[in-house]
Homo-oligomer: A and B are copies of this chain.
Amino acid sequence: MSPRTAEAAAVEQAHQAFYDAVERSDLEALEGLVLTGPLAETVSVVHPGWPVLRGRREVMRSYALIMANTEYIQFFLTDVEVAVDGDTALVTCTENILTGGPAEEDGSAGSLVGGLVVATNVFRRTSGGWRLWVHHGSPVMAEGVEEGDDGDDGESI
């Protein structure tokens, strides 16, 4: 592997570890992947439909909240593109998300819901490896669906 390829592979590994931690509801693992140090107060995350969360503390609190309110979540990542320049790495991807709703009253599993989100993730190189600095996820609307477009029954996803 060339140094450049090895670098991109290390970034992709950190990127995958980030999604794995959310999938497993492993807040401790996630804490180890989010940037600490001088830039900790500038860590910024946007969950789909949310305003900007800024600072490591607020970001971790949001993940704790999401984990507490999510029965089941699975990410199938596609279109993963990695760019590394110096100590900064950019990863964009599509998150094909499968989430489980809360359990039914009779105790059976809740219904599964699919969703399509695109994400921009920026990592910084640290002595301990690549750490997440920025995450921005947003819902992808179905193509060609516009307000007032009554020739199409499609719904936004």
Distance A92 CA – B45 CA, assembled complex (angstroms): 10
Asked if B156 and A90 sit within 8 Å, CB to CB, the answer is no
Distance A42 CA – B91 CA, assembled complex (angstroms): 10
Known: A44-B120, A81-B42, A83-B39. A49 touches B94 (CB 8 A): no
The contact of A156 among B38, B49, B54, B86, by CB within 8 Å, is B49
The contact of A139 among B49, B94, B134, by CB within 8 Å, is B49
Kindly list chain B residues whose C-beta atoms are within 8 Å of the C-beta of A122. 90, 122, 134
> How would you classify the secondary structure of chain A's contact residues: helix, strand, loop or mixed?
strand
Distance A134 CA – B118 CA, assembled complex (angstroms): 14
Contact digits for A9-35, partner B, Cβ 8 Å, 1 yes 0 no: 000000000000000000000000000
Residue A124 is within 8 A (CB to CB) of chain B in the complex: yes
Tell me the smallest distance from the CB of A32 to a CB of chain B, in Å: 20
Contact digits for A124-145, partner B, Cβ 8 Å, 1 yes 0 no: 1000000001101111110000
Known: A39-B85, A122-B122, A134-B120. A50 touches B140 (CB 8 A): yes
Kindly list chain B residues whose C-beta atoms are within 8 Å of the C-beta of A94. 51-52
Sample 21 A-B pairs with CB under 8 A, ordered by A number: A38-B85, A42-B90, A44-B120, A46-B118, A46-B136, A50-B140, A51-B94, A51-B118, A51-B140, A52-B92, A52-B93, A52-B118, A85-B124, A86-B86, A86-B87, A86-B88, A87-B88, A120-B134, A122-B122, A137-B138, A138-B139
